[in-house]
Amino acid sequence: MKINDELVVKIEKFSNLGYGIAKTDGLVIFVENACPGDKVKIKITKLNKSYANAKIIEIIEASIHRIEPFCAMQRVCGACQLQFIDYDYQLELKREIVSDAMKSIGGIDIEIPLPIASPDIKSYRHKIQYPISETKVSKRILAGYYKPQSHEIVNIKHCPIQPEICDKVIDFIRNKALDYGISGYNEKKHSGDLRHVVLRISAMNGDILVTLVVNTTKTFDRLNNFAKAIFEEFEKVTGVCINYNSQKTNVILGRKTECIVGKDYIEEKLIDKIFKIGANTFFQVNPQSAENIFAYVKNYIKTNYKKPTVLDAYAGISTFGICSADVSEKVVTIEENPESCKKAEESLIINKVNNVEIHSGDAAEFFKKEKRKFDVSIIDPPRKGCTKESLDEVLRLTKGEIIYVSCNPATLARDLKYLCEKGCCVKSIQPFDMFCHTYHIENVAIIRI
């Protein structure tokens, strides 16, 4: 077999990165936009000793789960890898992704239930991060997601997985930036003004916080005037911020953010609590699915403990801690982002919560210094998961159970394996579909010490 060879294969399984898997002569082939059950003619695009990559030339026999994507841009935009698969089967494939990761990486043979479905599968995404560039000749602004495996921007005019108002705000920015002398970013040359546009939209009231990420260290009059124009154009835009990122990096947001006009936050409601979300604070992209997760964790604590002490680590704006406060005796949260801690403190006042203690700093360093023991520890680390040292400290600080919230089945499985080696028992794992039409899946694992 060689590159550009064509052959007919049957798609047998689904990979953890959203590719269909076929096998021929002992070689594993990963096929783009393929669904288990498809019989397809493919062309080999990459070849290694142990596997190959391929793309579909022709669908000979479609899987019963293959559907027409509701977005015309699905095949060229990298955001919704699974939109050509019916939603119920998407959930089954994600269940299999979690189950396979637990067995192959974690050595954990546990029954994984179907993910809790997202309440909405369209207009669900309430955080938008569009990279910005411009065309070479006309200098027309481009805004959208990257094509798969590239840094080429797909200029998206309409995206059905986000609220419709987002299209209008982005289109205004795209069409009016040049009027204010704002250029698009050239990644190769590290030149131009506008690198990204980040929108946060409240599912509670539709308010929008706009953040312009710019390739500079301080603002200037043209940029300020552009920010004010965006604010004045849309009633639902309640604030426009500037984030400064002049580094040669793939990281979207720089460390410094300045509010130019309006408020530097939106408010969101989860269960019965109101939270302030800022430009530089972490918050889930799908608020309704997030609410299912917070309710699940709160109900678990309420059902299994009587007014416990709770540790909320990697806390963000302390959503788990504040949501669980009224079924807990005491909650202690730790978060390294100062802005997140500030917003959490403000949310405590809004919700009249007085039994949550918020700490700003590195979680690993906090663990080492902390002497108190907690009945329950909630950990919600980034995709890379936890270090062994951090897991050791959480074990030291926890008397009852660890509730591990993860957006990455692979690192979750790795960390659960380590905890099991330390004598813990994985009681349950419940997936939640936070990221509809993608291969990403959120999980809540309950670990008995």
Give the H or E element holding residue 299. helix 287-304
> What contacts 247, CB < 8 A, 6 or more positions away?
254
With respect to residue 228, please indicate whether it lies within any of the assigned structural domains.
Answer: yes
CB 41: neighbour CB atoms within 10 A?
A: 14
CB 257 within 8 A of CB 211: yes
- Strand, coil or helix: 4: coil
- Strand, coil or helix: 377: strand
Same domain assignment for residues 265 and 336: no
Same domain assignment for residues 169 and 295: no
With respect to residue 279, please indicate whether it lies within any of the assigned structural domains.
Answer: no
Q: How confident is the model over 337-395, as pLDDT tens digits?
A: 999 999 999 999 999 999 999 999 999 999 999 999 999 999 999 999 999 999 999 99
Same domain assignment for residues 366 and 394: yes
Which H, E and C letters describe 86-107, residue by residue? CHHHHHHHHHHHHHHHHHHCCC
With respect to residue 383, please indicate whether it lies within any of the assigned structural domains.
Answer: yes
**Given its phi and psi angles, is residue 325 left (phi above 0), alpha (psi -120 to 50 degrees) or beta?**
alpha
Same domain assignment for residues 309 and 442: yes
**Given its phi and psi angles, is residue 296 left (phi above 0), alpha (psi -120 to 50 degrees) or beta?**
alpha
- pLDDT above 90 coverage of the chain, percent: 96
Domain with residue 231: its CATH number is 2.40.50.1070
Same domain assignment for residues 250 and 339: no
**Given its phi and psi angles, is residue 307 left (phi above 0), alpha (psi -120 to 50 degrees) or beta?**
left
Same domain assignment for residues 167 and 216: yes
* Radius of gyration (C-alpha) of the chain in whole angstroms: 23
d(CA 389, CA 392): 5
Same domain assignment for residues 104 and 244: no
Q: How confident is the model over 246-264, as pLDDT tens digits?
A: 999 999 999 999 999 999 9
Give the H or E element holding residue 387. none
Domain with residue 431: its CATH number is 3.40.50.150
Q: Which of 19, 49, 65 is the last residue of a domain?
A: 65
Residue among 438, 449, 447, 328 nearest 79 (CA):
438
List residues with catalytic annotation.
407
> What contacts 404, CB < 8 A, 6 or more positions away?
379, 380, 412, 415, 416, 444, 445, 447
Same domain assignment for residues 355 and 431: yes
For the packed helices 87-104 and 409-421, what is the interaxial angle rounded to 10 degrees? 40
Same domain assignment for residues 103 and 17: no
Q: Which domain holds residue 53?
A: 1-65
Report the amino acid identity of residue 400.
G
301 φ, ψ to 5°? -65, -45
**How would residue 25 be classed by pLDDT, with cut points 50, 70 and 90?**
confident
With respect to residue 86, please indicate whether it lies within any of the assigned structural domains.
Answer: no
With respect to residue 229, please indicate whether it lies within any of the assigned structural domains.
Answer: yes
With respect to residue 281, please indicate whether it lies within any of the assigned structural domains.
Answer: no
pLDDT at position 148, please? 83
DSSP state of 271: T
CA atoms 321, 322, 327, 332: torsion sign: positive
Q: Tokens representing 191?
A: 């030149």
Same domain assignment for residues 180 and 311: no
DSSP 20-85: EEEEETTEEEEETT--TT-EEEEEEEEE-SSEEEEEEEEEEE--TTB---SSTTTTT-SS-TTTTB
Same domain assignment for residues 333 and 263: no
- The tokens 């108002």 sit on which residue? 165
pLDDT at position 149, please? 81
Q: How confident is the model over 109-156, as pLDDT tens digits?
A: 999 999 999 999 999 999 999 999 999 988 999 999 998 888 899 999
pLDDT at position 264, please? 96
Give Cα separations from 374 to 155, 322, 358 (angstroms). Answer: 49, 16, 15
Q: How confident is the model over 275-325, as pLDDT tens digits?
A: 999 999 999 999 999 999 999 999 999 999 999 999 999 999 999 999 999
Same domain assignment for residues 111 and 193: no
Q: How many domains does the chain have?
A: 3
Domain with residue 14: its CATH number is 2.40.50.140
With respect to residue 275, please indicate whether it lies within any of the assigned structural domains.
Answer: no
Per-residue pLDDT at 439 exceeds 90: yes
Q: How confident is the model over 402-438, as pLDDT tens digits?
A: 999 999 999 999 999 999 999 999 999 999 999 999 9
With respect to residue 82, please indicate whether it lies within any of the assigned structural domains.
Answer: no
pLDDT at position 188, please? 93
